A and B are shown apart, each in its own frame.
Chain A
Amino acid sequence: MLTVQGLTIQFGGLVAVDRVDMALKQGETLGVIGPNGSGKTTLFNLLSGIYLPTSGSIILNDVAIQGCSSDQVFRMGIARTFQNGRLFWNLNVLENVMMGFEEVRTISLRGTLFGRSGELYKRSIEKATDIMSIFGDLLIKQSNKLSKDLSYADRRRLEICRALAAEPKILLLDEPSAGMDAIETATLMSDLNKVKAKLPNLSIIVVEHDMDFIKGLVDRVMVLNYGRCIACGSFDEVGKDPEVIKAYLGQEESEC
Chain B
Amino acid sequence: MTGELIIQQLLNALSLGVMYSLMAVGFTLFFGVIEVINFAHGEVFMLGAFGALAASGILISAGLPLGSIGLFIVVLLSVMIIGGLIGAIMERTIIKPMRSSPEIMTLLITLGASIVMREAVMLFFPNGRNPQPFPQIIVMKSFFIGGVLIKPDIVLTVVLAALLITGLYVLIQKTAFGRYIRATAQDREAAKMMGIRVDRIFLITFILGSALGAVAGLMNGMSYGIVKFTMGFIVGIKGFAAAVVGGLGNVYGAVAGGLLLGFLETMAVVFIPDGSRFQESISFIIVILFLVFRPGGIFGERTYEKV
Contact = CB atoms under 8 A, between A and B. Distances in A.
Interface of A: 48-50, 69-71, 74-75, 79-80, 82, 86-91, 95, 98-100, 103-105, 107, 109, 112-113, 116, 148, 162, 166
A73 B197 CA distance: 12
B179 A86 contact: no
B182 A166 contact: no
Given A71-B196, A99-B183, 6 more contacts: A70-B193, A74-B193, A88-B190, A90-B186, A99-B196, A104-B195
A100 B179 CA distance: 11
Interface residues of B, number: 27
Nearest to A78: B193
B180 interface: yes
B183 A88 contact: yes
Contacts of B200: 107
B177 interface: yes
Given A88-B187, A99-B183, A71 B175 contact: no
Contact of A100 (B194, B197, B307): B194
B189 to A, nearest CB: 7
A212 B178 CA distance: 42
B104 interface: no
B304 interface: yes
B87 to A, nearest CB: 13
A148 B193 contact: no
B290 to A, nearest CB: 23
17 contacts: A48-B193, A69-B192, A70-B193, A71-B192, A71-B195, A79-B194, A88-B190, A89-B304, A98-B176, A98-B179, A100-B195, A103-B176, A104-B194, A109-B177, A112-B175, A112-B178, A113-B171
Which 8 A-B pairs give the minimum distances between C-beta atoms?
A: A112-B177, A86-B190, A74-B195, A88-B183, A70-B193, A104-B195, A71-B192, A70-B192
